[in-house]
Structure 1
Amino acid sequence: MIESYERLMAFIQKHLPDPFYLEGDQRISPRERMFREVISNILIHREYLNHYPAKLVIESDRVFTENANRPHGYGVITPTNFSPFPKNPVIARFFREIGRADELGSGVRNLFKYYHAFSDAPPELIEGDIFKIVVDVSKIARQVTPQATPQDERIKRILAFCEEPRSREEIQKFTGLKDRKYFRRNILNPLVEKGLLLLTIPEKPNSPNQKYYSKKNNGKIIPHFTPRVTPQATPQAPPQVTPQAGEKIEGLNEELKQLLEIIKINPGIQVKDIPALLANRSLKTIERQLKVLKEKSLIERRGSRKTGGYYLKEN
């Protein structure tokens, strides 16, 4: 949970400018004051029995979050109508003790105190079965005027090349760079950290079978994280299956096609590693679907019971 907090704060710091702001004669960080509360809300007040994935999305003119919730009421929350209510008091107390949160209710007050640094419009807090926070950042968006650079053009070419999953070796060869260490540190890792390249095996970033692919998301920057204490994972959706010559995928539903694609881009994958790549699908369901694919002679299992994995079956 601490790691999730730090990764989300780092994501905000990387992608959202921090406007100049004076409180009295002291400069403070409104970005830190506001989004510390937003991220704490995601982790502290989440309904962990609900499988709805937590979201934090940065768009060109707003930042919004969605989080599973056990509502104490319904509707828009304002400083005048809200009453603090501890939904996970043990987690809230732990965050206060380690200095990641203040007293109960401080989040709403800080959001409405510092929002003027980002916009003339106040934030929206909407309580329901899904708790939503929307922070307008149009004021700083107007101040940012990015200019294209050769590095930007290189990134565009890499992302276009990676619309199909590619290995590190394939991407490095495509860029023409010879130094593997330089390529990984200055090209590949930053693209992954920014969420521009996704991992086919996100829970094993150093897997020898790892591949990377880009995802079109309508201009949104979407972080992919899995809070360690949540019962569900934020899924990394596999690319859609594109039938190739000789492939026998007729009669398969979308779930079976997704599973087939996972095996296609991760040859030798073990069944225990598959649930992390598929949203809201239990291990028991995956085992049943693997059996269907085997019966249709689309896949086969190779190797020992302990270390073996699944492969596409050769025609």
Structure 2
Amino acid sequence: MLTKNSLSKILSASESSHIERIVSTNDMDKFCQAICSFSNDVSSSGKNGYLIIGAHNDGKLSGLKVDDKLLLKISNIRTDGNILPQPTMSVEKFSFEDGELLVVEVQPSEFPPVRYRGRIWVRVGPRKSTATEAEEKILMERRLSNIHTFDAMPCLGTNINDLDVKIIEKEYLPKAVAEDILAEDNRCIEEQLASLGFYDLRYNCPTNGAIVLFGKNPERYLHGSYIQYVHFKGKDRAGDIINEHKFAGNLCRELPKIDTFIETSIAQKRPIPVSVLREETFSKYPYWATRELLMNAIMHRDYETNAPVQFYEYDDRIEVQNPGGLYGKVTPENFPNVSDYRNPFIAEAMKVLGYVNRFSRGVDRVQKELIENGNGKAKFDFSLITAFRVIENVSEKYLEEGFILEKAKEKAKEKPKKYISTTQETNNITQESTQEIYSTTQETNITTQETNNTTQETTQVTNITTQETNNTTQETDNTTQETSKKRPRNVQETTQEVILRIIKENPQITQSELSKTIGLTINGIKYHMKKLTKAGIIKHEGPTKSGKWIILKK
């Protein structure tokens, strides 16, 4: 820990490879370049570097007043993800008669080379610059000698042919390395990957982290390297399996699929009326929070085990469980305020690819979003010792407006469902209920007349059209017989079956009209129409507004 006396001595000394003074408080690029260069410690001095803000080159104080805003801005450099791997640094304010100083103390990194926005910065004497190839090689060799984490270890028995080189060159390198640096880099792919920590030149093989991120078949070497999604009916694993999917393959390919899956299949949205003229949208499980919890499990899991990341959905909650408990300095008492990384190179890559935003900040934002959406706070379970589990409850706001499929099913069991309804009821039906609505006007072509008979079963979706009292019984029987010929009672249609039926009746119907008829949002209609079109079940001919839908197969 730096003391005031030690700082006074540093101020009186000239600038060197581990001391930099600066007066400006706004040049964030200069601050980050200095911290990156101290982290790399290219001279291998083993000394901490000191960035002193508020002092001239001759050591005299500028009269700076350090406020909380400046302190927070400099402290956030550690976790904003622009310097990777994350630097080890501390920030402290010192007060003197002539003014105040803000001092950033930086330790040499165990995993060099460290980059700031894709560039490796080093200090040669009092000046800093981007690293040469020779300097980069020195830093790479030092990292190899300091290997401690599993993702940095060589995956023996593999070679460059086990990696998807095309996806590395197309998707990863342009994001990980500055464009001008990459354009001038004429090294082979093995050496490029080695500089990023994904290839071990000593054994001429990729690291475990490279296999997880870019491997053609990660499971062949790391058997638990996949994500298992299962949707159970009910509130425990004893229920029937409604849906399941295995996300297997390298993370560079699978993470976009997982992202899309959460957005389209998990984060189901509903507009909730809050006034006559205004609606608010709530999700069953909010997209960003759910995505963040799953991405954290993928990033922090133990890849040495054969167990996958479990992403399980029940009627009332989602559970995300990853092999490997809390790691390093993290304990149940200091979680989530203290962070440590079991897989620092995988964590760095996920940040580069855009699936991790700011280190150490995700949990707070997750909790805030879950509370606002009506899910309540996520519950973190540390009791499993060898695994880590988080529980995300279903949104109460999403359910309280009547969007519970199970309740609809219970009502259907109590009283058999009829498939005749008024136009008003059709407009009120929701996407999730998947209740079948058959319009009396369309199905029976019976004109509604004045009736002296009260409608039966008003709480159900049925409103049987009646004629004058003397003909009620006869006409109702006829209607029921005609309808039952078309579709037996108590048989639920899927959303896509409902769409196909309506298209068959009215091929010129637009997606907007479908949305109003079925009660789905326009985005929900577009999603199902796209699925049906892609499956070769329907196609659209003619202009968008005046064309028609054609059913190719049932």
Task: Compute the TM-score of the two structures, normalised by the length of structure 1.
Answer: 0.42
Say which structure is richer in strand. 2
Higher alpha-carbon Rg: 2
Which gives a bigger RCO, structure 1 or 2 (Cα 8 Å, sep 6+)? 1
